[in-house]
C-alpha cells in the first residue's frame, strides 16, 4: 500500500508512506494510518482536504469507521478534520474504480 500526496494544483506528487503486507490492510489499521499520515502531512505544511482510494471492501469498511456512508436518501462524504476543526476531511472513490465497481 502506498500513501501518496498530490496537490490540487501543481504537477508533482510525494510518497508519504509505503506499507508492505501479505494481505489487505484491515479497516481499523487503515484508519489509523490515514489519521496519522494526515496529521503528519498537515504539520509539515501540506493541506490534506480529501482521501482518495478505490472501492475495495476494506476501504469501504474504513470509510464507515469515519462515518462515511451513502444511500439514496442520505450521503455523508466527510468527517471532522483531525487537525483543523473548521475544516472537513472528504473521502472519495477514484473515478476508474467507481466505474469498475
Q: Give the predicted TM-score (pTM) of the model.
A: 0.86
Q: How much is the pLDDT for 82?
A: 97
What does the longest C-alpha to C-alpha distance in the chain come to?
A: 39
pLDDT digits (tens, 9 = 90+) for 57-88: 899 999 999 999 988 899 999 999 999 999 99
**Cα 47 to the center of its chain, rounded Å:** 13
pLDDT digits (tens, 9 = 90+) for 13-66: 999 999 998 888 999 999 999 999 999 999 999 999 999 998 888 999 999 999
Instruction: Give the bridge partners for 69, in sequence order.
Output: 76
- Band the pLDDT of 97: cuts 50, 70, 90: low
Provide the CB-side half-sphere exposure for 6 (13 A, CA).
7
Amino acid at each position: 500500500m502506498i500513501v501518496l500526496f498530490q496537490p490540487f494544483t501543481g504537477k508533482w506528487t510525494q510518497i508519504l508512506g509505503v506499507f508492505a503486507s501479505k494481505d489487505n490492510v484491515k479497516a481499523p489499521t487503515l484508519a489509523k494510518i490515514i489519521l496519522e499520515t494526515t496529521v503528519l502531512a498537515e504539520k509539515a505544511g501540506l493541506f490534506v482536504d480529501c482521501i482518495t482510494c478505490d472501492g475495495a471492501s476494506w476501504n469501504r469498511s474504513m470509510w464507515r469507521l469515519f462515518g462515511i456512508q451513502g444511500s439514496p436518501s442520505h450521503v455523508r462524504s466527510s468527517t471532522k478534520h483531525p487537525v483543523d476543526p473548521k475544516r472537513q476531511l472528504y473521502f472519495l472513490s477514484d473515478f476508474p474504480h467507481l466505474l469498475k465497481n
